[in-house]
Amino acid sequence: MKINFTEITAAKAKLDAVIVFLVGEDKKLSPLAAAINKQSGGVIAKALASGKFAGKRGQYAVIVPSDSVKCDRIILAGIGDVKELNAQAFENIGGGVIPHLNNLAAKSATFFLDELKGPVSAAEAAARIAHGADLRGYRFDKYHTKTPADEKPTIATINVALANTKSVAKHYAELEKLAAGIFLTRNLVSEPANIIYPETMAEECQKLEALGVEVEVLDEPDMYKLGFGALLGVGQGSANESKMVIMKWKGLGKASKTQPIAFVGKGVTFDTGGISIKPAGGMEEMKWDMGGAGTVVGLMKALAGRKAKVNVVGVAGLVENMPGGNAQRPGDVVTSYSGQTIEVINTDAEGRLVLADALWYTQKHFKPKFIIDLATLTGAIIVSLGSSRAGLFSNNDKLADQLFKTGQKVGEEVWRLPLADVYDKQINSDIADMLNSTNTREAGSITAAQFLQRFVNDTPWVHLDIAGMAWSKKDGDITPKGATAYGVRLLNELVKEYYEG
C-alpha cells in the first residue's frame, strides 16, 4: 500500500473517498467535516439526522456527496472523546476504515486530519493513522490463483492530509520499519510447513544480515556436540534437520561491551504431537506453532531496521515434531544442555524442551540483562485467558510490570499468572530431575512455565505464552484474520521505552 502525507491545501484532486471525523457522541462535526458539510449543502448533517450513527469510536458511516464535493464517497469516522485519543486509537481508526474502502471498491482515499487538541500531536496522529491502515491492509494471498475480482482488495493508496506535514516523516519512518518486522512475522507464520521448516526458516533469518544483524546457525552436529539433548529429542523423528539460530544486533556499536537484552522463541515449524499424536481436526493449524520464533525474527528486523540504540540477542530454536520411526517415545529420558535430565511423558509437550536448551544457551553464553521467551506453549492458556491477552510468567516484578504497562499502551496485552513451589513440585520425576508435563489437567500453563524457570538460573526472565494470540480467526482493526505477529509491537515498544540509550 502506498502512503502519502500532504498539506490540506494541496489535497484538491478528485478522490475516490474522503474520511473525516465525528467528535464525541453528540454528533459534533470536526472543523474539516463541518466545512465539507457546508460545501456539500448539508449532506453530512442530513445523514446524521436520519441515522443511528452517533460518533462513537469505531463507528463508520458512508455518505454519497453532491457533485460540489470532489470525491465519490465521504466516510464519517467516529472518534469519541478527543481527550482519550492515544496513539493506539489513531492506528485503530486508520485500520478500521480499510474494509469499508474495499467494500466501496475505492482505489485511493484521503484522511482529512483536524488539529484535534488531544494528547497526540497532529503529526504523530497522521503517522499512526497511516500505520494502522498499512497493517490492516496486509494480505497473505500468494497461493490464491483464482480470486474473483469482487473479492480482491482495491485500496492501493492512502493519503493523510493535515495542516502541517513538517514532522510527519520522522514519526512515520520508525513505524514503517516496525511494519516491515510485523509483515515478516506474519509471512513466516502464514507459510505452510512444506515451505517453512527449520532449514528454510534459518535461511529467512540469514537475510537479516543485510540490515547489519549477525546471524549464526547451529545445525544438528553442532548441537549434538554441545549436548542439546532436549531440543534434538523433539526433532529426531523428522526428516527435516533441527536448527538453532542466533541473531545479534549491536545497536551500540560492534565494540560495545554493554550487556545485551535477549529474546528467545519457540520454533516448532509443524507440531503433530509426535508419538503422543494430536487429533486430526485442526492439526493443519500447527504450522503456526513456530509463532514465538517468528515474533523474535520480526522483532530483530524491526529493531535493526530502525537502528535501535541497544544490543540485542535473538534466539530461535527450530524443530519439526513428527512421529517417525526414530521419534522420541513417551517415557524416554533426555539430558538437556544444562545437564539436567528430563523424563518425557508426553511428546506433545515439546515446546518447553526446545526452549530448555535455547534458554540455557542464551543465559550461559550472553549473560543478558534479561530474557523474554515467547511460545505458543499451552492450550491451557487459551482456556484461562482466551484470545485477548498473553499469559505472563516471571521471576522479576520490574520487568513484568514494564511489559504489562507496555501491553496496555500498544494494545498487545498480557496478564500475569503465578509461579510457586506448589506448582514446581508437580513436575518432579521419579527417575529423572523433572517431567516435561504432568499427568493432570491442573494449572497446565503454570507447570509449563515452572519447567522453563529451571533453565534461566537467576537471570531476570519473562515467559510469554502466546498460544491464544499468534493466530486470529477474525479480523481486528489493524490485524486481518490469520497470523497476528503478536509481540513484535509489544517488545519493540518495551525496548524503545525502557532500554534504548
Residues catalogued as catalytic: 278, 352
The phi and psi torsions of 52 (rounded to 5 degrees) equal: -90, -5
Cα–Cα distance between 202 and 217 in angstroms, integer? 7
Dist CA 1 CA 132 (whole Å): 12
Q: How far is CA 432 from the centre of its chain?
A: 37
Alpha helices, DSSP H only, in 9-145?
A: 31-39, 43-50, 87-96, 98-103, 122-136
User: Cα–Cα distance between 325 and 83 in angstroms, integer?
Assistant: 62
Per-residue cell: 284: 493443519
* Segment holding 401, helix H or strand E: helix 397-410
Q: Which positions ≥6 away from 262 have C-beta within 8 Å? A: 312, 313, 314, 315, 362, 363, 366, 368, 370, 371, 372
| 80 Rama class: left (phi>0) / alpha (psi -120 to 50) / beta | left
Q: Rounded to an integer, what distance in angstroms lies between the CA atom of residue 276 and that of residue 287?
A: 17
Are 323 and 440 in contact by the 8 Å Cβ rule? The answer is: no
Residue recorded with cell 458539510: 37
Does an H or E element contain 424, and which?
helix 421-424
